[in-house]
Amino acid sequence: MKLELQKAKVKNIAWGDKTALLADGTLQINKEEFIAAAADSEHFKTLDADLARPGESVRICPVKDVIEPRYKTEGPGQIFPGMLSDVETVGSGKTFVLEGAAVLTCGRIVGFQEGIIDMQGPGADYTPFSKTMNAVLVIEPVEGLEAHDYEKACRMAGFRAAFYVAEAVWKAGAHVDTTETYELPCFAEAMKAYPELPKVAYIYMLQTQGLLHDTYVYGVDAKKILPSLIHPNETMDGAIVSGNCVSACDKNSTYVHLNNPVIRNLYDRHGKDINFVGVIITNENVTLADKKRSSSYAVKLAAMLGVDGVIVSEEGFGNPDADLIMNCTKAEKAGIKTVLVTDEYAGRDGASQSLADAAPEATAVVTAGNANMIIVLPPMEKLIGFSDYVNIIAGGFDGSLRPDGSIEVELQAITGATCELGFNPISAKTW
């Protein structure tokens, strides 16, 4: 399967008469058409849109999802199969990408499990989405709308708006700055390739605890699946999307699923020091039987592939830590080396136990940061959205929102701050 990502670099964003990418890199969006694409009169009492650029004194809150505008220009299927388009298999052909742009959905869905994005100041250093040109949908539901219906309506509005932007820009004659090609052979060839290199697969844990902690694969609620193989290219065409209302710091937004850095890095090293043979998606369950079933099944698939090692990434914390450790211990006992990617909830001083579960077999662990670390966000000149949930947002507390508009809060409240796929700015150096 071969996929070409046709990337156009977005350097600015503005409202205008016609949606198009201008010669200077400005993404011009027709605001009326943008809102019309997202409109849902059955579920939305109000729907508005605003723009936020890197470096501006702007706070966006509460952020639900972040989506990169993409549009398939060749090949079977279309972006977000099973959501916006037919369930045709994606991941081949050509896909147009507005690199550096994002559509954000903002609303009080669960409230305490949405996030904060500051476009300048110390908070901006912790979220990757302070560096993107953002078109923000601010959505209020009709009275009495249930939270799960509100979440679905917001999720679909974001997909429609992002798709509208990418399609309109492409059809307006957008240029392509760079083309990236991703290709892996079929298993029959992959198993024989690079015999001198270790075979490596990726176990991709998806948040599926239910009660608005949901991820979808081709439109299917992933809590209902057994672990399965997926071609890495399918993720780049939106086969996996977020429906999550979890702590903002380690929520894998749809943008992150589209740009999974674990997959990108495995591709980069393929044929050099590893033989990257594929991706196994699995879920994060709430009962012991389901945890045991999924971890055994995922490791069985890895063993059937004959891999020497697996990378295992997590989404969320606490309960999913048990799934993470089960995947690790079963793989190690099957003779498969593991590397885990997670974040930590080690207390504000960093001295507490980091994960809810642990095992002697977990000897290679990459951390995305301590979500309990406290940060003070200074006041911003402009707020897009609502601030009334700040005191109860995950990572906040009574008094988080100060009278002057500043916020004292844990990193947990900042969107993408400790992303467990590594799509975050935190890193460590040794010397």
Alpha-carbon gap, residue 332 to 176, rounded angstroms: 44
Half-sphere exposure of 9 (CA within 13 A, CB side): 8
Buried-exposed string 4-27: b where 16+ CB fall within 10 A, e elsewhere: bbbbbbbebbeeeeebbbeeebbb
Q: Give the CA-trace dihedral at 417, 255, 96, 55, to 10 degrees.
A: -40
Length of the chain: 431
Alpha-carbon gap, residue 33 to 18, rounded angstroms: 9
Angle, helices 288-305/319-333, rounded to nearest 10 degrees: 40
Q: How far is CA 37 from the centre of its chain?
A: 22
Task: Supply φ then ψ for residue 321, to 5 degrees.
Answer: -60, -35
249 is annotated as an active-site residue: no
Alpha-carbon gap, residue 118 to 392, rounded angstroms: 18
Amino acid at 226: L
Buried-exposed string 164-201: b where 16+ CB fall within 10 A, e elsewhere: bbbbbbbeeebebeeeeebebeeeeebeeebeebebbb
- Strands 58-67 and 382-385 come out as parallel
Q: Is-contact 35 49, C-beta < 8 A?
A: yes
Task: Supply φ then ψ for residue 123, to 5 degrees.
Answer: -65, -30
Helix (H) and strand (E) counts for the chain?
Answer: 8, 24
Alpha-carbon gap, residue 60 to 50, rounded angstroms: 10
Amino acid at 231: H
Angle at 71 between CA 184 and CA 250, to 5 degrees: 75
- Strands 215-217 and 199-207 come out as unpaired
Q: Which of 245, 249, 328, 419 is catalytic?
A: 245
Catalytically active residues are: 245
